[in-house]
Structure 1
Amino acid sequence: MEMFLAAVGWAGAGFLLAAYALVSAERIRAGGVAFQVLNLFGAAALTANSAYHRAWPSAVLNMVWIVIGTAAITTHARTYARTDAPLR
């Protein structure tokens, strides 16, 4: 189990780094769905890893990150539903 959660944690770090790198390279929009999804998956993976290791400050930080990402994706979805605008 420990090895699995270590891999999950590294994957989460990879998702967060990918989100930052892609925004910095202007490949995706900072407020876009792709950025939010990468951050959401990264935060979820790091939450699992941090909770397993009882690193509660990191786990709580990432849980808040999940709430923020979920709210942003929900806002995008509602905007899309009202305007038929493409999700970006």
Structure 2
Amino acid sequence: MIAAILGWVGTVGTLLAYLMVSRGRLQANSRRYAALNILGGVLGGSASALYGAWPSAVSNFIWAAVGLMTVVSRVTGKTAQLH
């Protein structure tokens, strides 16, 4: 039950973030958009891990990490780079 709740809240969070960017209510490089993606990714990843769906868990945690990199780059003023 907890995994399902985590998964649904995470899914709604990431879909809401995408919808708000698509409608022009959020900027794609905003902290709020990144925060919604971090929260959605962590919750979705946690739910997937609890179900043992590891490919989904990994992709959700990576999604959250991308959001975190956005926040870090906005706070520090440096662009995050992958090497």
Normalising by structure 2, what TM-score? 0.88
* Aligned match of 1:39: 37
Equivalent position to 2:5, from 7, 31, 39:
7
Equivalent position to 2:23, from 22, 25, 45:
25
- The percent of aligned pairs where both chains have the same amino acid is 34
Q: Flag structure 2 segments of 5+ consecutive residues without an equivalent.
A: 78-83
Q: Flag structure 1 segments of 5+ consecutive residues without an equivalent.
A: 80-88
* Aligned match of 1:63: 61
Q: What does the per-residue CA deviation read over 1:12-62, in whole Å, with 9 as the maximum and x for residues that have no partner?
A: 001001001100110000111111000000000001100011111100111
Supply the distance in 2 between the matched residues of 1:4 and 1:55 (Cα, whole angstroms): 15
Q: Which runs of 4+ in 1 moved over 3 A?
A: none
Note the aligned Cα RMSD (angstroms).
Answer: 0.8
- Count of residue correspondences: 77
Q: For the pair shown, which has the larger CA radius of gyration, 1 or 2?
A: 1
Supply the distance in 1 between the matched residues of 2:7 and 2:60 (Cα, whole angstroms): 12
Supply the distance in 2 between the matched residues of 1:32 and 1:13 (Cα, whole angstroms): 19
Supply the distance in 2 between the matched residues of 1:35 and 1:17 (Cα, whole angstroms): 11
Supply the distance in 2 between the matched residues of 1:63 and 1:4 (Cα, whole angstroms): 18
